[in-house]
Structure formats: C-alpha cells, structure tokens
Amino acid sequence: MRVATIRKYLSRLYVQVLIGIVAGVAVGHFFPDVGTQVKPLGDLFIRLIRMLLAPIIFASVVVGIARMTDIHAAGRVGMKAIVYFEMASTLALGIGLVVVNVVQPGRGMNVDPAHIDSAAIASYTHAAHQHGMLDFFMSIVPNSVVGAFANGEMLPVIFFSVLLAVSLARLGPRAAPFVDMLDMFLQAMFGVVRIVMWVAPIGAFGGMAFTVGKYGIGTLASFGELMLCLYVTSIAFVVIVLGIAMRLCGLSLWKFLRYIKDEIFVTFGTASTEAVLPQMLIKLEKLGCARPVVGMVLPTGYTFNADGTAIYLTMAAIFVAQAMNIHLSLGDQLLVLAVLLLTSKGSAGVAGAGFVALAATLASMRSIPVSGLVLLLGVDRFLNEARAVTNLIGNGVATVVVARWEKAIDMDRARAVLDRGALEAGEPEPSLVEAEAGSRGARGASVGHSL
C-alpha cells in the first residue's frame, strides 16, 4: 500500500519537477562545472515550448473570437483587460517602492560608481535605447505575418489573429469549416504540449543546476536582504492583492494555486512563464472561463501584466541608489515609478526584459548611474524565479477576473473544478473531457451572449 502511494505521488508532474529542482541545486553546488554544462537541458525544454506558442495562440484566439456572435464583445474584453493590467501593475510598482524604502536592502554597501565596469551590461543598455514606447507600438504590426510566426513574436501574432478572427466572424456560416479545422488543429497542439511536459523535470533540473553552478549559492548570502524583500513582497502581493481579487470573484485563491501547482513549479524551475503558457490556456478554459477571454487576456497579459517584474523593477532601481548612497526625494521616487509604468511595457519581448526596463528607466532619470545595474547581474537569475512565478499567478488571476467581469465564466463549474481532488494533478476526469468535447461548439457559439 505504501509503495502504491509513493508511486502515485511520483507520477504527479509537480513532484517530479520539485525533485528536478532539488537535484539541480545539489549538482550546481557540489559539481559547479557539471552544473554549468547541463544548461542546454533547460534551454531545450524552453525551445520545445516556444515552438508551440505561436500556433497555439493563433488558433486559440481565432477559434474563440470567430465563434462569438457579438464581435463588439471582443473589444470590450480587451479594454477591460488593459484597465485591470494597468491597475495591477501600478499597485505592484507602488508596493515594491514602499517595501524597498522601509527595509532599505542597499544601505551600507557604499559602492563607488567610479569603480564599476559597465561593460557587462552593454547589451542591455543598447537594447534599452532600441525599445522605447514608440518602437513597442510599431512592433505590434509585423513586417511579415510569416516572420512573426517564425520569430515567435507574440504581440504581432495576437494582432494578426484578432484581425483574422473578426474577418471570419463576419463571414458567418461560410467560415465554419475553416474554424472547425483550426479547432481540431488546436486540440492536436495541446496533445503535443502534454507530450513535451514529460521532460519538464529535466528542464527544471538543467535550469537550476546552471544557475547555482555559475553564480554559486554564496551569491544568495551577499544579496540575501534584497532577495528576501522581493520574495516576501511577491508572496504578500499574491496572498493579499490577488487573494482579494479572487475573493471578489467568489473563488478561493488557495484552491486556484493548488489547481495550477504543476505550472508554478515548472515556472520556478525554468524561470520562464512561457514554459507553461499552453498548459495555462488549457486549465483556465477547463476552469470554466470562456475561450475568447482566455485566448485574449492570458497571452496579452504576458506583455502588459507582469506583476512580479513590476515589484522587482522599483526595488532594483531604489536598491541601486541606496547601494551608491544616492539620496532620492519622494518626488524623485514617484518619477521613477511613473517612468517604469512606461518602460516596463516598452521593453516587453526583449531578452532580459527586466534589465532592459531598468536600463531605460535609469538612463531617462540620470540621477542613478546605469552602470549600477552591474550590482544585480550575479543575483538576477535567482530573483527571476520570484518574478516569473508572480507573473504567472497574476496573469491567471487576471484572466479569471476579466472573465467574471464579463460574466463569461461558469461559476458552478469553476467551484467544482477547484474543489475536485481528481484535478490536482492537472488531469481532468473522463466525464469532464467528454462534457467539454460535447459542449465545445455550443459554448463557442453562445459566448457572445454571455459576454
């Protein structure tokens, strides 16, 4: 009986990923050379997921919107999502600003800006100059649709998908065969995702082994206060702010976190929210959220609703100033917050987006040397886990909130799914799958009325 219980737990994805994380930390610490060499394991898993993102998002958005009877509802969903994103991001930035001023993790470091070599951050500062707000908005419209798919550029893919979906919706019944074909393609892609997720524990192992092997656990002690601030603040944001949002929706945050625990552990191990985007699309739809809402809100939130990154940005900017003994007045700090509201969006989609946003902010402020970002290079990878997990949970909650706001969520189904112990491992009961398959067409057609 005990052996059967152990096998049951070991068969669950989140347990396997947790084992991979612990093994990665051990290998990175005791065998750092080996740890740095297994980095391709983590990179390979991320690449496997990224190759699926563009087609999944395309098919999900097109099928969802094309089956809506009220096209104006799509625009309404988008506007409400943006409103929520801005409110959440602003609140996250403000909370980070308050905590970093109270704790002051950079105080006493006494770093001399003249002795800092900024060569290590040259690529980030260059990217900051190339990705302002105007560049960001221009990048939404792709030069080539094929190029957007080939490069995995999510915003251009979403933009094209919405245009195509609206066009198909206007064609009416004539477009139904094409939409049905896309729906079948989408289900096949989700099947590929389930296959790829088998190697998630290996990806988590490779990512953690590389991080600890390259930067060392000693780095954690050197910047322990900053890390503690970020992790505690992120947890408080999730529990208090997102908890209140879920309660207003009539759902339990704790049960929701239990429902997506597989995705949380994978994100923590790989430090990438992209790794679980397809799985989150599946789970939120199974939760009872309408497909058009899920397809629009979740992928867009990856750019516009990075709550964990917002907390990190204010903390990191003020931390650098504190470490260099640079006094910032309240007005200066509020100006930093205002600038971050723009730069955090303008750098989206860029490799090392957090550093790019910080570099753009400090460069525009001029009161804090951009070279101070060097202080964060060694510890940034450890901070990234907290950012990624908070971003993941924040976007999941955002999708539920917008769906509830639009009355596009089946609340009875949502409560049943969150309460059902059989769904803890992320696998639906057979009856649920059959019900979903049988009602998919009807739900797609009636979503417009519920919206």
Does the pLDDT of residue 319 top 70, yes or no? yes
Residue 428 banded pLDDT, cuts 50, 70, 90? very low
pLDDT of amino acid 350:
44
Residue 263 and residue 403: Cα distance in Å, rounded?
Answer: 21
pLDDT of amino acid 405:
92
- What are the pLDDT digits (tens) for 191-247? 888 888 888 889 888 888 887 887 777 656 657 788 888 999 999 999 999 999 999
Residue 410 and residue 365: Cα distance in Å, rounded?
Answer: 47
Mean pLDDT of 354-363: 69
Between 172 and 389, the more confident residue is 389
Count of C-beta atoms within a 10 Å radius of residue 40: 11
pLDDT of amino acid 365:
65
Residue 122 banded pLDDT, cuts 50, 70, 90? low
Report angle CA 156, 53, 353 to the nearest 5 degrees.
Answer: 65
Residues near 327 by Cβ (< 8 Å), separated by ≥ 6? 321
pLDDT of amino acid 347:
47
pLDDT of amino acid 414:
92
Per the prediction, the chain carries an average pLDDT of 78
350 close to 152: Cβ distance less than 8 angstroms:
no
- What are the pLDDT digits (tens) for 135-192? 667 777 888 888 888 877 777 888 888 889 888 888 888 888 998 899 899 888 888 8
- What are the pLDDT digits (tens) for 40-81? 888 888 788 878 888 888 888 888 778 776 667 777 888 898
pLDDT of amino acid 227:
85
pLDDT of amino acid 289:
92
Distances (CA, A) of 51 to 180, 192, 277: 23, 11, 12
Domain ranges of the chain: 2-450
Based on its alpha-carbon atoms, the radius of gyration of the chain, rounded to whole angstroms, reads: 22
Residue 323 banded pLDDT, cuts 50, 70, 90? confident
Does the pLDDT of residue 435 top 50, yes or no? no
pLDDT of amino acid 437:
40
CA-wise closest residue to 49 among 302, 363, 395 = 302
Residue 392 banded pLDDT, cuts 50, 70, 90? very high
Q: Amino acid identity, residue 369?
A: P
Lowest-confidence region among 161-165, 167-171, 268-272, 347-351: 347-351
Distances (CA, A) of 390 to 98, 434, 447: 18, 33, 29
Instruction: Name the percent of the chain lying above pLDDT 70.
Output: 79
Name the CATH code of domain 2-450 (choices 3.40.605.10, 3.90.1150.10, 1.10.3720.10, 1.10.3860.10). Answer: 1.10.3860.10
